[in-house]
Amino acid sequence: MPSRNMVNVLCLPNELLMQILNHSNPRDVRSFGKTCRRFRSFILSNKSKLPKPELKWDIAQLIFGRRITLLRCRRSASTRARKRAHEKMEKWEFTEKQFSTEFTNYFFVMVPEQLYIKCKDFDHNKEALIKKCVGPLRSSVLALEMNICSLSESALGDFFKHLSPFALHLAGRFDRSIICDQVLPLSSLYGLFIGLNHTDMDIRTRVSGLTVRKIVNNWYNRYPDIRKDLQNLPSIPNYDLRTFRIEIPDCDLDYNELFAFLKEIIRVPHCTREFIIIGNVSKTLIHYIYSNLSDLYMVGPAEWVEEGICSVEDVEWSSTLSCCCDNDHGFANHNYVMDQDLARDPAEMCETVQLDLSISVLKSEEELLPRRSLLDFWLRLKSDKINQVKRLPEAVLVATTALRKRRRTKP
C-alpha cells in the first residue's frame, strides 16, 4: 500500500503540482514521472512547461534530408591512454523521421558544445523542432547553414534568443539582408562569423556594408550612453576580459559605411574588447582610409576629452598597413611604414594588402575600479579573403566515419 505521504501527494491538485515541479531539479521531475500513471501522464502532458534534464553532447549534427548525428567523448578513467582519439568517441545516428517523431518526445533537452544545423530552407517546422529538443547554448557554438530562410526577422531573432549561443556561424547562400539589429542575440553572443560553405565560393552572396553597420549596431547597443556615470557599466563576470569578434570573409563596403559604424561603436565608453575582421575589401578603399586617418581621429574619444572623461594622454590610436604576398622568391612581408611608403595609386599596392586600425582609452585604476579600459577596439581590413578557414562541424563528421557506433544490446 502507498505511504501516507504518497497519498497526500496524490491528492494534490494539478495547479499545486505544477508549482512544486517548476521549482524542482529537472532530474527529480523526471523521476517523479516514473512513480505512477497519474504523474507520468501529468509530466508528459505538461513537459513543455516543466524543467527538463540536460543531455550533454560534444557535437550535435542536424543535417535535414540526411542524418541526425550526435557525438561525444567517453569520459572514462581507462588506462588505455594510447587509444586513438576517434576510438574514444560515441556516436548516435537517427533518420530525420526518427528524430522528429521519437527522439524529440523524450523528456530532456540537448545541450551540445557544438550544434550544427544544415538545411535547404530554415522554416517554422525546423525551428519548432529544434527549440523543442535543444536547450540554451550559453557556452556553445551554433553553426547554421542554409540556402533559404523562410522565417521572419522577428522569428529568427526569437530562435537565436532561445538558443543564446556563445558563438554564431552563419553560412550558405541565404540573403544576408535578413541579419539586422533584431535578429542577433545581444546577451550571449561573443563571436560572429558570416561565411561560406565549401561549395559556395562561386555563387556566394556578398555581405553588404549596410549589413555590417547593422551587426555593429547590434554590438554597441549593449551599452547605454552612460558617459556621465561610468560606474554603471554592466556587471558581467570577467567582462573586461571578453573579446567580441566579428569575421566577414567577403564584404562590399564603402567609406561612408565604414566611417559610420566606426563612429558609432567608439562613441560610448565600454570595457569589452571588439575585434572586427573584414575580407575582400577593395584596395581603393584601404588606400583612401589610410590616406585620411585624421578624419577618424576626430570622432569618439576626441569628444570625451572635451567632456573631461579622459585626457589626451589616455587615448592611443594605432594604424599599420602591411601585406603578405607571394612573389618569385617565396613569401615576403612588405610593411608600409609612414606616408612616404604608401603607393600613390591603389593599383600599385599588393593584392594581399591589409590595414589594421586600433584605438584604446585607458584610465588609472584609482579613477575606474576595477576596470581600466574605457575602449579597446581593433579593425582589420583585408584586400584578399580571410585565410582563416572555419571548420564547420560537418567536416568533423566526415573525419569520423570510422567511429564505432553505440550498440544497444537487449537485456
Q: Which DSSP string corresponds to 14-33? A: HHHHHHHHHTS-HHHHHHHT
What sign does the CA torsion over 116, 120, 122, 128 have? negative
One digit per residue, pLDDT tens: the chain, 411 residues? 445 554 455 566 666 666 666 656 556 655 555 566 666 666 666 665 555 666 777 788 888 887 787 776 655 444 454 444 444 567 778 788 887 777 766 656 778 888 889 888 999 999 988 888 888 887 788 989 888 899 988 899 889 988 888 888 888 878 777 777 678 766 667 788 887 655 454 445 567 666 776 676 666 555 544 443 444 444 444 545 567 788 887 777 888 888 887 877 777 777 677 888 888 888 999 988 888 888 777 776 777 788 777 788 888 888 888 877 655 444 455 655 544 567 778 888 888 888 999 988 876 555 544 446 778 889 999 988 665 445 555 544 433 333 333 433 343
pLDDT at position 9: 57
Please tell me the pTM assigned to this model: 0.69
Q: What is the DSSP letter of 221?
A: T
pLDDT of the residue at 259 = 82
Joined grid coordinates for residue 338: 609612414
pLDDT for 124 equals: 92
pLDDT at 356: 92
For residue 405, count other CB atoms closer than 10 A to its CB: 9
Query: Cα–Cα distance between 73 and 88 in angstroms, integer?
Result: 6
DSSP for 30-80 reads HHHTTS-HHHHHHHHHTTTTS---EEEEEEEEEETTSEEEEEEE-----S-
**Residue 259 phi, psi (nearest 5):** -60, -35
Instruction: Identify the pLDDT of residue 303.
Output: 77
CA 1 to chain centroid, in Å, comes to: 54
pLDDT at residue number 205? 55
- Whole-angstrom CA distances from 102 to 29, 33, 381 are 20, 18, 48
CA Rg value for the chain: 26
Q: Which residues of 114-127 are buried (b: 16+ CB within 10 A; e: fewer)?
A: bbbbbbeebeeebb
Q: Which of 404, 374, 407, 104 is nearest to 240 (CA)?
A: 374
Query: What's the count of helices (H) and strands (E) in the chain, helices before strands?
Result: 13, 15
Query: How far from 43 is each of 52, 136, 367, CA to CA, in Å?
Result: 10, 21, 55
Distance, first Cα to last Cα, the chain? 29
Give how far Cα 129 sits from Cα of 96, 132, 191, 298, 343, Å: 11, 5, 25, 50, 55
CA 110, 115, 121, 127 torsion-angle sign: positive
Between the CA of residue 108 and those of 43, 60, 308, 342, 369, what are the distances in Å?
12, 15, 54, 60, 43
Output the CA–CA distances (angstroms, integers) from residue 383 to 64, 218, 251, 284, 322, in the order listed. Answer: 36, 25, 10, 9, 11
